[in-house]
């Protein structure tokens, strides 16, 4: 069976096109899988940050319960008061630090802002309202303040 040079050229062109299409399909699938992996990785980071926030919030809850128990048992004397004021303040600071870190990640686009706005807008606003004294001029929680300002104006 003899192939003319034109036939061989046509066949090689067809094979080249088919290979090109296969490579394109493969590349698109790879990109899609990489995109999925990146989204999952971002979600993992968010979940671990949220877990850390909840852990610190839980520690604050525990301190609050200890204070209530002491009060119920009439053991909240001036010495206990000093100790627990410091303990509660430290727990509040630890919680706010983790919230500030979340706000930083949202502000710097490490997390998609639109995904978090609905969930955290009220959460952040209530924190600022309840701990107003922590958000004065010399506040360490600038990311919380700035994100709240931005979301309040939108």
Partner 1 sequence: MSQGSNKVESSVARNDALDPKETLRQTQSGKDLLSSREYNFSVSSDQTLRNTIAAMDLLKNAGE
Binding site for partner 1 (CB under 8 A): 33, 36-37, 39-41, 43-44, 47-48, 50-51, 57, 60-61, 63-65, 67-68, 71, 76-78, 80-81, 84-85, 88, 92, 115, 119-120, 123, 126-127, 130
Compute the least distance from the CB of residue 11 to partner 1, in Å. 33
83 within 8 A of 59, measured Cβ to Cβ = no
- The DSSP result for 22-69, as a single string, is HHHHHHHHHHHHHHHHHHHHHHHHHHHHHHHHHHHHHHHHHHHHHHHH
d(Cα 100, Cα 86) in Å, to the nearest integer? Answer: 21
Compute the least distance from the CB of residue 12 to partner 1, in Å. 32
The gap from C-alpha 133 to its chain's centroid, in whole angstroms, comes to 25
Compute the least distance from the CB of residue 148 to partner 1, in Å. 14
Compute the least distance from the CB of residue 125 to partner 1, in Å. 11
> Whose Cβ is closer to partner 1: residue 11's or residue 47's?
47
> Whose Cβ is closer to partner 1: residue 112's or residue 149's?
112
60 within 8 A of 92, measured Cβ to Cβ = yes
> Whose Cβ is closer to partner 1: residue 15's or residue 36's?
36
């Amino acid at each position: 069976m003899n192939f003319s040079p034109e036939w061989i050229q046509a066949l090689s062109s067809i094979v080249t096109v088919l290979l090109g299409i296969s490579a394109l399909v493969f590349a698109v699938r790879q990109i899609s899988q990489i995109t999925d992996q990146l989204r999952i990785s971002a979600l993992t980071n968010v979940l671990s940050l949220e877990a850390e926030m909840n852990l610190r919030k839980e520690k604050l809850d525990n301190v609050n319960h200890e204070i209530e128990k002491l009060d119920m048992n009439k053991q909240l004397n001036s010495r206990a008061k000093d100790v627990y004021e410091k303990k509660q303040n430290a727990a509040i600071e630890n919680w706010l630090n983790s919230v500030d870190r979340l706000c930083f990640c949202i502000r710097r686009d490490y997390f998609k802002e639109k995904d978090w706005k609905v969930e955290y807008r009220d959460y952040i606003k209530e924190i600022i309202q309840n701990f107003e004294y922590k958000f004065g001029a010399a506040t360490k929680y600038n990311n919380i303040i700035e994100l709240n300002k931005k979301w309040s104006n939108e």
